[in-house]
Amino acid sequence: MPAALSAAADDALVRLLAAFESPPNAVAALTDFFDWIRPRRGEPLEAAAARYDAALRAMETDPDCAARVRRAVLDLLASRRLVSYFADSGILPATGFFSELGRIVTERLLPQLPDEADIRSAIRQIFPRRRDWIWMQAMPGELGQRFWRIVAGDSDAVAPLLHPVLDQMLEALLVVAYRVGGLGVEEEFGRLGSEFAAYAPRFRGLATAAQRFVDAFRAHLQDMGAPCEDEAQLLVLVDQCEEVIERARRASMRLGTSLHLTHLLRRTSQSLRRIATLARLAGTWLRRGEATEAREAALAHWAELVRDTVRAESQRNSLREHLSKGASLLALRVTDNAARTGEHYVAETRAQYFAMWRAAAGAGLIIGAMALVKILTSKMDLAPAGYALFYSLNYGLGFVLIYMLHLTVATKQPAMTAQTLAGYLAGVSQGAAGLRSADLDRVVDLIVAVARSQFAAIAGNVAVALPTAIGLSLLLAQAKGAPIIDMGKAAHLLDDLDPLGWAVPHAAVAGIFLYLSGLISGYFDNQASYARIGARTARLSWLRAIAGAQRAGRIGNYVEQHLGGLMGNFLFGCMLGSAGTIGQFLGLPLDIRHIAFAAANLGYAWVAFDFALPATTLLWAALGVLLIGFTNLAVSFALALWTALKARGVVFTQKRELLRRLWARLRGAPLSFFAAPQGT
């Protein structure tokens, strides 16, 4: 965009600003104004910023123009209901997930009539496009502050016009404060323990302090000579309540949580931040005659509030955004449990590294046998549902056995280790400048440890599954007196490993299932704690009759500690076993490929061809196994990391610097990504 706007743009700007003539239609004038600023398709943001800057300069250099815009905006604010805007916009709704989903779908099918008395309706008319918030958020912050500086004008002259706005702002502050004040009596909050019952007066005290602050402020508006305390005490109570919410969040990680409790804690955090914003705005108005810094701080708070609420109103009827928020809440409910599980899959010492090898080797032995059971089951004459059942039981019970023996399936790691990495990123401070150098180095160390652990697990699985398959084939063929797999089945197994066939897409499907199994494990771990599954299991009368009270208690304790792992592994096996059958029902080429089973199948096919496969065929199949493994890991890790970061609200902006440091580590110490670490 050139430094100066074109003559046509200048003429358009003159017409837009002339629309603010008295008496203006403020909504129509502001709609046209921001429509002129909005970036055109394919246009860089800088062009829109230049138009915004030109409009602001025109107002700043023409006091009459600025006065007209000021009057229009202030009249709009004074003539509309603002309480719901201040109290609800940008805060999770009190209604449940499905109630809100029903409202969105209904309004998408049959749009609601605009409420001409509500400011939120005006905002949706001024910014009618669902993606308007994106370019508004991307605009330089100082442009928004300049706009509101023009609207604010002279503090003393504008003060009487702002009284209706201030009164509704104070009413909204009370509404939000009393909502928060009721948290102490919430049943879900009480489930966290008696410790939190003692915090109920703190939330009620916040509501009382808000009422006292608002009453004094309103008295001051009526009589400027009346005393009015500042917002400091109210902000102290907000900080104390936020501390309780953080403690509650940590307790819910330990004791388990529910979707309602997660929603409640997040909504309360948003409400506390809104109380603080409104209190600071009101307090700054009290100090309007003091230093310029206070005025600028108020403008910054107001501009930020407007940006946040524009985003909320733009996305109010967004089905995608609502589903995304629901998924985020659900993910937050389970990812912390998965993160703690993931810590066991990261080998940071030599002892842990070789323990990973041994655990993976043991799993490879069982997987070799599981692959044979599946091959033999495929020869049975069953209905499609029968195949799905037997395949699912084979995979599910096999994975449960591997888990109970404390062995490791390589592809189960990424969905867990991604949670660990996201948990670390959420735990370290990320300011405007991002992570500190030391924290970034720790992320590199963690990624290297994850890569090293993954390599050990893959190598252990494949290095044992392949020879196990060969050994079982030879042993059973000798016992039977004939090959256990015919040439046709062996050719089919090799075709399944073709890198240019369906091997990679089917491996991606398995990666999605691996990701889901991580969420399932976290969900059941959470449920075991939240619902006290162990204690309830130990009270089963039939179990106590069979095993005795003491042994029933130990069984209940085992179930509570391992329910996530047991269910995650069993249901993962069911997903793998039923995918092909579901694909047949739907007429879709749906199936799975898993690196350890692929390696075992290669061994069975190789023996069926009496080790006479051409070297090129063998290498091509081996390449397919490697690509299957890479796809399994990449898909499950990427999905798990995205979910965990989204659930924790982590925005990582230093990807380029992280990649640079990883590349430097790879060049300087390539073996650290694969070999056992030095030391003990």
Minimum mean pLDDT among 96-105, 590-599, 609-618: which range?
Answer: 96-105
The CA distances from residue 293 to 82, 142, 144, 166, 230, in Å, are: 27, 15, 17, 20, 16
Query: Mean pLDDT throughout 591-599?
Result: 91
Q: What is the 3-state secondary structure (H, E, C) of 1-36?
A: CCCCCCHHHHHHHHHHHHCCCCCCCHHHHHHHHHHH
Rounded CA gap, 459 and 480, in Å?
31
pLDDT band of residue 412 (cuts 50, 70, 90) is low
Rounded CA gap, 513 and 624, in Å?
20
List of residues 6+ apart from 65 with CB closer than 8 A: 17, 20, 58, 59
List of residues 6+ apart from 365 with CB closer than 8 A: 464, 465, 468
DSSP string covering 154-217: SHHHHHHHHHHHHHHHHHHHHHHHHHHHGGGG-HHHHTT-HHHHTTHHHHHHHHHHHHHHHHHH
pLDDT band of residue 650 (cuts 50, 70, 90) is low
* 191 burial via Cβ count (<10 Å: 0-12, 13-18, 19+): middle
The CA distances from residue 517 to 142, 461, 574, 620, 640, in Å, are: 46, 19, 10, 30, 10
Displacement of CA 542 from its chain's centroid (Å)? 42
Minimum mean pLDDT among 155-169, 175-189, 497-511: which range?
Answer: 155-169
pLDDT of residue 505: 93
- pLDDT at residue 339 tops 50: no
- pLDDT at residue 3 tops 50: no
pLDDT band of residue 672 (cuts 50, 70, 90) is confident
Q: What is the pLDDT of residues 186-199, one digit of tens each?
A: 766 767 766 776 77
CA torsion angle 585 588 594 598 (round to 10): 100
Q: Which residue has the higher pLDDT, 500 or 320?
A: 500
pLDDT of residue 432: 45
For 346-350, the CB contacts below 8 A with 24+ separation are 346/417, 346/420, 346/446, 346/449, 346/450, 346/453, 347/449, 347/452, 347/453, 347/456, 347/677, 348/449, 348/677, 349/677, 349/679, 349/680, 350/676, 350/677, 350/678, 350/679, 350/680
Q: What percent of the chain has pLDDT over 90?
A: 18
Q: 625 and 497 in contact (C-beta within 8 Å)?
A: yes
Rounded CA gap, 282 and 276, in Å?
10
pLDDT of residue 590: 87
Minimum mean pLDDT among 135-139, 252-256, 424-428, 434-438: which range?
Answer: 424-428
pLDDT band of residue 202 (cuts 50, 70, 90) is confident
Q: Which two tokens stand for residue 482?
A: 């004939």
Task: Specify the DSSP class assigned to residue 228.
Answer: -
pLDDT of residue 414: 61
pLDDT of residue 680: 57
pLDDT band of residue 625 (cuts 50, 70, 90) is very high
pLDDT of residue 342: 45
Domains and CATH numbers, the chain: 80-317 (no CATH), 338-509+575-673 (1.20.1080)
Which pTM was predicted? 0.67
Q: 193 and 255 in contact (C-beta within 8 Å)?
A: yes
pLDDT of residue 514: 86
pLDDT of residue 366: 94
Rounded CA gap, 624 and 595, in Å?
9
Q: What is the mean pLDDT of the chain?
A: 81
Q: What is the pLDDT of residues 370-404, one digit of tens each?
A: 999 999 998 888 898 999 999 999 999 999 999 99
Q: Which residue has the higher pLDDT, 644 or 401?
A: 401
Q: Which residue has the higher pLDDT, 524 or 322?
A: 524
- pLDDT at residue 448 tops 70: yes
pLDDT of residue 97: 66
Minimum mean pLDDT among 16-30, 248-262, 495-509, 566-580: which range?
Answer: 248-262
Counting every residue, how long is the chain?
A: 680
Query: Mean pLDDT throughout 353-375?
Result: 90
Q: Which residue has the higher pLDDT, 618 or 153?
A: 618
- pLDDT at residue 162 tops 60: yes
Q: ω before 499 within 30° of 0 (cis)?
A: no
List of residues 6+ apart from 139 with CB closer than 8 A: 45, 48, 49, 52
Q: Which two tokens stand for residue 669?
A: 């110490």
Query: Mean pLDDT throughout 318-347?
Result: 59
Minimum mean pLDDT among 8-12, 208-212, 545-549, 623-627: which range?
Answer: 8-12
Rounded CA gap, 107 and 91, in Å?
19
pLDDT of residue 526: 75
pLDDT of residue 300: 78
Q: Which residue has the higher pLDDT, 163 or 618?
A: 618
- Indicate the SS3 state at residue 37: helix
Q: What percent of the chain has pLDDT over 70?
A: 83
Displacement of CA 222 from its chain's centroid (Å)? 47
Q: Which two tokens stand for residue 267?
A: 């909504």
Q: What is the 3-state secondary structure (H, E, C) of 576-616?
A: HHHHHHHHHHHCCCCCCCCHHHHHHHHHHHHHHCCCCCCHH
